[in-house]
Amino acid sequence: MPPDNPGLLFNRYFPRIKSEKGREGEKESGKHQLLIGLADAVNKVTGPREMLAKLARRQEAMARALAREKGTGVLRIEARQAYRLVAQTALTHPLENGFCFHALYGVPCLPGSSLKGAVRAALLRTLAAEAGCDDLDEKKSIVPLLRRSPDGMMPLRELFGSAIKDRRVLKKAELKELDPMRRGRLVFLDAFPSECRVVADVLTPHYGKYYRGEKPAPSDTEDPVPTFFLALETGTSWTFHVILEPPRAPGTETAGDPALRGAVVQAVRDALETWGLGAKRAAGYGWFKDVQCRWLPETGTAGATTAKASEASGPPPEEEHPILRMATRESRARPGDLGLAKQHVTRAWQEGGPELAQRVAEVWKSAMAGNKKSVKKLSRHLADLTAGEEEETE
């Protein structure tokens, strides 16, 4: 009898694949059928539901205890997949693509280190865009940003520790002044979904040699090669916990924490809604929607100071739509990209209607002020969307 554990079913009880002689298409079809059968077996077991419920209660209790007893800031994030999610495909597996099953519990998970890297990258992109830098190379962009605006890079250093991974890129005289060695205050817990619903999926790249850099341009002479993998189904809900530890310097006040907390929330939203998590994001995987961020109530000494500062700052401003934030950031970095502008306007129309599309278009027009031809083409694109909507209504 197979175990009541999806991780074991996928990694240890996977059916043996026999070596068959024949056409490649028949072999690939056999792999797909095996994966479909495995997905059905995983969805039928009942163990993951109980395990995920226990893990959720355990994490929630730990987070509330930290907030209550030590005054540690704990951000609770609830989000729902806008499409399927794929992660840790580089893990070894007979089908060449692994899946993000927890090694101990056997349920789907996203490691805290993965979420930390995604949130850090989102924050870095925001800081770089604000400084007018579109190059995110660690050596080429972070060092100039530190030299140009050390105060502007403060959230990155405070939340994630030293911004420079390779400290040899800084001069000795700059080490202490620009990027002193420090440990970041953010701790990311492993995240688990509310349920385990997997599906056998497939992508078929048509230009593999071009993507691998073996050809200078794509060609129709290449053979499409299907790639089969497991994915978490659309609509799956996730809960994330991010811990903001108190400052480590003795006597340091936490009055500046509201600004840092705002930066954390914004970076988390950007990571989930704008950039996505996991693999195959360019194909639409890994995006989240309905993101709800809430700081758990604190009763510790440090928490009381932060709570008072938060109350003094007043209610938070109304948050902008993710596509509007993306358009604002990308238009500054790539003001001449008409194709990207049209994509943003179209997506804004689909998600928020004509009013949101008009606002996104105005953001791009402002960035394209010196290019009247592009502004005219973008206006025509918005008019075409409006005309299409009116025709459908009629």
pLDDT at 243: 92
Angle at CA 212, nearest 5°, toward 211 and 214? 105
Share of the chain above pLDDT 90, in %: 20
In a shared domain, residues 230 and 285 = yes
CA dihedral 301, 305, 311, 316 (to 10 degrees): -100
CA distance 312 to 259: 12
DSSP letter string over 70-114?
Answer: S--EEEEEEEEESS-B---TTS--TTS----B-TTT-SB-B-HHH
Distance spanning both ends of the chain, measured CA to CA: 60
Residues 80 and 11 in one domain: yes
Mean pLDDT check: name the lowest of 132-141, 252-261, 299-308, 361-370: 299-308
Nearest CA among 285, 377, 374 for reference residue 334? 374
Q: What pLDDT, in 10s, does the model give residues 112-164? A: 999 999 999 888 888 777 766 665 555 556 666 766 666 667 788 788 887 66
Task: Say yes or no: 292 and 236 in one domain.
Answer: yes
| 317 in a structural domain | no
Q: Quick one: pLDDT band at residue 311, thresholds 50, 70, 90?
A: very low
Q: What's the Cα-to-Cα distance from 277 to each of 81, 86, 284, rounded to whole Å? A: 10, 8, 11
* Cα–Cα distance measured from residue 303 to residue 305, given in angstroms and rounded to the nearest whole number: 5
Answer yes or no: do 216 and 104 share one domain: yes
Share of the chain above pLDDT 70, in %: 74
Single out the residue of 215, 212, 203, 151 nearest to residue 179, CA to CA: 151
Mean pLDDT of the chain: 78
Are residue 14 and residue 74 in the same domain, yes or no? yes
* Residue 297 placed within a domain: yes
Same domain, residue pair 242 and 179: no
Q: How confident is the model at residue 26 (pLDDT cuts 50, 70, 90)?
A: very low
Residues 105 and 206 in one domain: yes
More confident residue, 92 or 362: 362
Least confident of 2-11, 256-265, 317-326: 317-326
User: Domain ends where: 155, 186, 217?
Assistant: 186
Which whole number is the average pLDDT over 269-281? 92
Looking at the structure, do residues 85 and 18 belong to the same domain, yes or no? yes
Quote the pLDDT of residue 171. 64
Q: Which domain holds residue 100?
A: 6-111+190-312
Residues 17 and 46 in one domain: yes
1 located within any domain: no
Same domain? For 334 and 295 the reply is no
Q: Angle, to 10 degrees, between the axis of helix 322-333 and the axis of helix 338-367? A: 90
Task: Report how many domains make up the chain.
Answer: 3
Q: Quick one: 18 and 87 in the same domain?
A: yes
Q: How many residues does the chain have?
A: 394
Residue 152 tokens read as 């502007």
Determine contact, residues 71/61, Cβ cutoff 8 Å.
Answer: no
Q: Are 202 and 256 found together in one domain?
A: yes
Residue 361 lies in a domain: yes
